[in-house]
Structure 1
């Protein structure tokens, strides 16, 4: 299914006070759905970053039996915003699935959810790196793939601070596969990223529904994790999500 077909073109976005993030002066259903799912008290924000789909997408794109011991090592780079919390949860699930994750946080968040997920990862003996090697070859040699959970929709590198910007500069130079969560870090959620100066992931995992920028994604695998989206939210924003096979948490587009 084409990412641009996941939401209905007939959707009317006269949402008044419920309107969420906007990009470039225009709004889009996927961003509004994300905003509602992460701000409406009745939908309960806290569990959303702890869902399994990012890990499920990794396991589909890089099945464990097909990987060598070295290829099972995964570096998860987690920023201080919600995408970083999803990254921490992803690392936890990767360990359960018998991958070998390590975590690097360019900036530690004081948010309670981040603290709880960090504690859970530490108790599962997932190592946290104290620094990210400046020499990209060291990362390429040590890991089989990297998960980009540095920034999320609406978060620009300049807003995230120097450590996150430096982490993004490293991600751009990797040779090993890169998996980006929801929106590749540094991309505008609607316009995408400059092909010459942006993270270019091999795998994209869209949450709820693909954002407009997904139309510019040219990597190998694109998954959508929207099975958890309530039916009334789908109707409200005209989301036409793909069908999920069996008990799969993600669907390939």
Structure 2
């Protein structure tokens, strides 16, 4: 494992996604979402095996995979994205009778769950947190239940990390899965486990962005990396 963890800022991360979805890269957005969701579901399985109980989660793709692993996911999705790809993902979960619940207060949902998957915001998020997501951030910040954050902890600035004060300033998820590559705010992460996920990055794209491809084992879609590793922003 390299001694330095290379990270991508928001522009580089967006450019890399663009390269993957270009004619040269050959991926579609739904393929990348599927692979990312699969990685998230494996990270959940790693930190909280299904024999330990049910799971409450937010990632739509991850929720489908988790259902087939034997979990009982609950999806909090208060502000749906009105695009065909998201409509299809919701329909898939509805066909499996996976529960969506935007009415129950989030603190009650969290209390009924064993693990929260934080997939509220992506790396393009800019503070502050607005309604209706503020109640979820407030609950996760209290540490009521363990949290696995997807790519970047929600409410954190992608480069600067948690807010200096106010909502989200004390939010520290227990686990983090960085998709494709870690983001600069990973230097502020002090949780229990950090994973890199997304087993689709080829040597040419990795070389262009000066990234090290993790050594995935067997069928794994994730690789655990040290939490306290030195971070290098690219």
Does the pair score TM above 0.5?
yes
Alignment correspondent of 2:212: 240
Q: How many residues align?
A: 218
1:140 Cα offset (Å) = 4.3
1:112 Cα offset (Å) = 1.0
The normalised TM-score by structure 1 is 0.78
Counterpart Cα distance in 2 of 1:116 and 1:36 = 24
Uncovered stretches (5+) of structure 1, i.e. residues with no partner: 9-19, 23-28, 78-86
Match among 18, 34, 50 for residue 64 of structure 1 = 50
CA contact (8 A) 1:21 1:35 kept: no
1:119 matches 2:91: yes
Answer 1 or 2: which has greater helix percent.
1
Uncovered stretches (5+) of structure 2, i.e. residues with no partner: 226-234
Alignment correspondent of 1:141: 111
Alignment correspondent of 1:14: none
CA contact (8 A) 2:76 2:101 kept: yes
Secondary structure, aligned partner of 1:224? strand
Match among 56, 68, 75 for residue 96 of structure 1 = 68
- For residues 142-161 of structure 1, give each alpha carbon's deviation from its aligned partner in whole angstroms, at most 9, with x where no partner exists: 11011111001011354x74
Match among 4, 15, 33 for residue 16 of structure 2 = 33
Secondary structure, aligned partner of 2:41? helix
Match among 32, 50, 53 for residue 39 of structure 2 = 53
Counterpart Cα distance in 1 of 2:3 and 2:158 = 13
Alignment correspondent of 1:5: 5
Distance of aligned partners of 1:210 and 1:31 in 2 relative to their CA distance in 1, 3 Å threshold: farther
CA contact (8 A) 1:203 1:220 kept: yes
The normalised TM-score by structure 2 is 0.83
Alignment correspondent of 1:84: none
1:152 matches 2:133: no
Following TM superposition, the consecutive aligned residue runs of length 4 or more in structure 1 with deviations greater than 3 angstroms are 1-4, 29-32, 34-37
1:2 Cα offset (Å) = 6.7
Distance of aligned partners of 1:132 and 1:152 in 2 relative to their CA distance in 1, 3 Å threshold: farther
Counterpart Cα distance in 2 of 1:224 and 1:91 = 19
Pick which of 161-170 and 107-116 moved more.
Answer: 161-170
- For residues 48-79 of structure 1, give each alpha carbon's deviation from its aligned partner in whole angstroms, at most 9, with x where no partner exists: 111210000110111233x1xxxx222223xx
Counterpart Cα distance in 1 of 2:113 and 2:73 = 9
Supply the RMSD in Å over aligned alpha carbons.
Answer: 2.4
CA contact (8 A) 1:3 1:215 kept: no
